[in-house]
Amino acid sequence: MYTIKQFIFNQFKLYSIITISLIFSLFLLMVRVKLNHSFFYLFLVWNLFLAIVPFGITTYLRSKTNIKKIKLVLYFGAWLLFLPNAPYIITDLIHLRLSADSYLWLDILVVTSFACNGLLLFYLSMIDMKNILKTYINKTALHYLLITVLFASSFGVYLGRFLRYNSWEILSNPKYLVLDILNILSHPLAFKEAWLFTILFGIFLTIGFWVFQHVYYKQVLELSE
């Protein structure tokens, strides 16, 4: 029987590279803590954990065969809920404005490293979900669904960065979250920044996904051979 352990073993080289990259980010952060005697950027560890969650969901789903549609819908919902946490780390670059001049270059390395890992996990999870869904829906519908997911993730990043919502609040505090979303959708002219960010960041994620797919299918898959 094909299990998640067998799946991870078959993808061992790819996951080894991801692990090394994650460990290097943590190493840079520890160096930063040691040199600056500050724990300010430790929140990046939590943000990176949240970025791993959607990747973990798609890794689990890819290890399964013949997933029931209702089960897939539930997992897809959970995946979509946590997915914006991965590209969200890019916006943590905003904290660099609070960095002191001493070791500013190190702060840049730390935040950029975590942000790149967030994007890596984001795009890998997107590709995994694409491979999962292609057996359930046709190619055209899947294409538009993925585009929608990319822009929805961009909107989710806006909600997290500027309105300070997190993934848990759709369960713990859904009322105000839904009201804010409806307010933005119904009064677009009053929330120009929200739409501008969503569109531009969505284009950024879409172009990045297009480029990443080409690199992935030409290079990364060779590691599994």
Residue 13 pLDDT grade (very low, low, confident, very high; cuts 50, 70, 90): confident
Report d(CA 105, CA 200) in Å as an integer.
27
Task: Tell me: pLDDT of 15 over 50.
Answer: yes
pLDDT(110) > 70: yes
- Structural domain span for residue 27: 4-224
Residue 130 has pLDDT above 50, yes or no: yes
For the segment 98-110, the average pLDDT, to the nearest whole number, is: 90
- Residue 7 confidence (pLDDT): 61
Question: Into how many domains does the chain fold?
Answer: 1
State the pTM of this model: 0.91
Task: Dump the DSSP string for 113-164.
Answer: HHHHHHHHHHHHHHHHHHHHHTTTS-HHHHHHHHHHHHHHHHHHHHHHHTS-
Residue 117: HSE in the Cβ half-sphere, 13 Å Cα cutoff: 28
Report long-range pairs for 18-23 (Cβ below 8 Å, ≥24 apart).
18/117, 18/120, 18/121, 18/124, 21/116, 21/117, 21/120, 22/48, 22/117
Model confidence pLDDT, tens digit, residues 47-93:
999 999 999 999 999 888 888 999 999 999 999 999 999 999 999 99
Q: pLDDT tens, 135-193?
A: 999 999 999 999 999 999 999 999 999 998 887 777 777 888 889 999 999 999 999 99
Show the tokens assigned to 81: 């809920």
The mean pLDDT value of the chain amounts to 90
- Confidence bin at 1 (pLDDT 50/70/90): very low
CB atoms under 10 Å from CB of 12, counted, come to 11
